Amino acid sequence: MKRLLAFLTCGLSLSVAAQELPAQFNCPAGGAPVHEAGYVQIGGIPQWVTIDGADCRNPAVLFIHGGPGNALSPYASALYGDWERDFMLVQWDQRGAGMTFVKTRPAEGDKLTIERMTQDGLEVAAFVTRRLGQPRVILFGSSWGSVLGVHMALARPSLFSAYVGTAQLVSRIEDGRASYEQTLAAAKAAGDQKAMAIVRQVGPPPWTDPRSFGALRRVTRQYERARTEPPRAEWWKLAPLYAPHAAAFDEADDWSYLQAVGMKGDGMMEGIELPKLGTHFEMPVYLIQGTEDLVTPASVTRRYFERITAPRKELIMVPRTGHDPNPPMLAAQYRVLKKLAAKR
């Protein structure tokens, strides 16, 4: 099958990008490739969705990106292109992120909320089931996306065949304190006076300065880099379709970051406490955790995992991996997805 939308070109303009993806697609009995990108009306605004895979009969995987604001769609082909042989890969640029931000910039006073974005995510998942004629999708959340993913999985389990969480964020306070303590310990062990001063100045959460998390994150990246296998350089180059919008993507990152942390520690992420939502899942749960993750440390993830009840559950620890994607993490994710596909 030829590409269903011919507007996938390097020179995509905003006027062309106004096209919307069709709501229905009849997957032939013998299967067919699908490569689509466009806008879908979600939560009252057009939101960017891409669908790529070699065979529409293969299981669909809905990626819930992190940040918030760090859309994966500009990098999806480089990161996950090889997976298209086995899965239908769905990227969604969330409200305030990526191409959704390009099309619908937030108005003054607009705010992101977990409740609104959870509903957005459920609408996207329902769209994908209709679009591909599949009853359920695999829900795949990373970092901030793992918070949204858990909310979605618990809110409407009938849409999802499994939940896969990577760099699972569990509790803003508990994860933040563990991050602070482990990063300070790493700086002390290295005799790094500069890093120790930064971490001590930030202090443990709760934080009321919007710069606090960013300052700590710069130090965690330093120590994660020293202990992990690096990502491939080509992963983080904008695909040609998205390159004209690089400045807007940076603006989206900044806007979404402030929405997340707030100006006085009052952003939408400050109240995150996933165990309070309940820990019973009606689908298999797989949590994939880097051993060197200093943002969502393994100790917090493990305690959460031990409380979860599910038809099946597994905690996969990935050595030489931190919070961000790298080759060992992607290999572990692919193995989990292949296991889920085999049980389909």
CATH code where residue 294 lies: 3.40.50.1820
pLDDT in tens, 148-202: 999 999 999 999 999 999 999 999 999 999 999 999 999 999 999 999 999 999 9
Q: Do 106 and 53 have their domain in common? A: yes
Are both 191 and 43 inside the same structural domain? no
- Tell me which long-range contacts 183-189 makes (C-beta under 8 A, separation of at least 24): 183/216, 183/219, 183/220, 183/223, 183/294, 186/223, 186/294, 187/219, 187/223
Residues 261 and 338 in one domain: yes
Kind and range of the H or E run holding 313: strand 313-318
Q: Is residue 180 part of a domain?
A: yes
In a domain, 4, yes or no: no
pLDDT digits (tens, 9 = 90+) for 321-340: 999 999 999 999 999 999 99
pLDDT, one tens digit per residue, over 24-53 is 667 888 899 999 999 999 999 999 999 999
Whether 8 is in a domain gets the answer no
Residue 117 lies in a domain: yes
The last residue of a domain, from among 184, 206, 227: 227
- Under the banding of pLDDT at 50, 70 and 90, the label for residue 23 is low
Residue 10, pLDDT score: 27
Give exposure, 125-157, as e/b (b: 16+ Cβ within 10 Å). Answer: bebbbebbebebbbbbbbbbbbbbbbbbbbeeb
pLDDT of residue 48: 98
Tens digit of each residue's pLDDT (9 = 90 or more) over 48-93: 999 999 999 999 999 999 999 999 999 999 999 999 999 999 999 9
Has residue 8 got a pLDDT over 60? Answer: no
- 71 and 200 both lie in a single domain: no
Residues spanned by the domain of 42: 16-172+239-342
Condensed to tens digits (0 to 9), the pLDDT of residues 237-283 reads 999 999 999 999 999 999 999 999 999 999 999 999 999 999 999 99
How many of the other CB atoms lie within 10 Å of CB of 311? 10
Domains contained in the chain, number: 2
Q: Are residues 67 and 166 in the same domain?
A: yes
